[in-house]
Structure 1
Amino acid sequence: MSRHETVTITLPTELLDLIRLRVEAGAYADESHVVSEGLRLLASNEDALEDWLRNEVAPTYDRAEAEPESLQDLDAAFDGISR
């Protein structure tokens, strides 16, 4: 079982209302569970973004840098989409 610590944070009223609504709706047992799940989702999204940047964006950029003649100008790209 993981260790727990108590912390105090300040949140905008809108976020507190959202947390309370999720608990009142029965989606979560308490406010801590809402915040914990939100942080887990944030970490997961950041990991997915990092993977996408590393595995798709960076190689594409590297290919474009190595072979600039393979790039299309913007008008040609849009012409290809609209056909």
Structure 2
Amino acid sequence: MAAKQQFSVTLPPDMAEVVEEKLRRGEYDSASELMSEGVQAQLDRDASLETWLRDVVVPGHAEYLADPSRAVPAEELLARIKARRAAGR
């Protein structure tokens, strides 16, 4: 089994209540298990953001730098987004 490190965590009352409720309902065996899952979710989110930045944002910026004339003004882009949202309703 991997070595573990102990931490002392202080939570605001509303967050502590969530932890206690999840333990009462049996969703987690311990606060440590819940905290571990929370940290893992944060790591997953960070990795996802890093992937998006690397695979979408950086190439898109490079494409813009290569040919700025193909850029879409922010107002037009916002109008497109609003139109897609309206069409999806």
What TM-score range do you get, normalising by the shorter chain?
0.7 to 0.9
Cα distance change, pair 79–22 in 1 and its aligned pair in 2 (3 A): closer
Instruction: Flag the structure with more relative contact order, 1 or 2, with Cα contacts below 8 A and sequence separation at least 6.
Output: 1
Cα distance change, pair 67–10 in 1 and its aligned pair in 2 (3 A): same
Cα distance change, pair 32–75 in 1 and its aligned pair in 2 (3 A): closer
More deviation in 70-79 or 39-48? 70-79
- 5+ residue gaps, structure 2, are 85-89
Cα distance change, pair 80–50 in 1 and its aligned pair in 2 (3 A): closer
Q: Counterpart in 2 of 1:22?
A: 22
Percent identity of equivalent pairs: 24
- TM-score normalised over the length of structure 1: 0.85
- How well do the aligned residues superpose, as a CA RMSD in angstroms? 2.1
More deviation in 1-10 or 58-67? 1-10
Distance in 2, Cα, partners of 1:30 & 1:41 = 17
Q: Counterpart in 2 of 1:31?
A: 31
How far did residue 66 of structure 1 move? 1.5
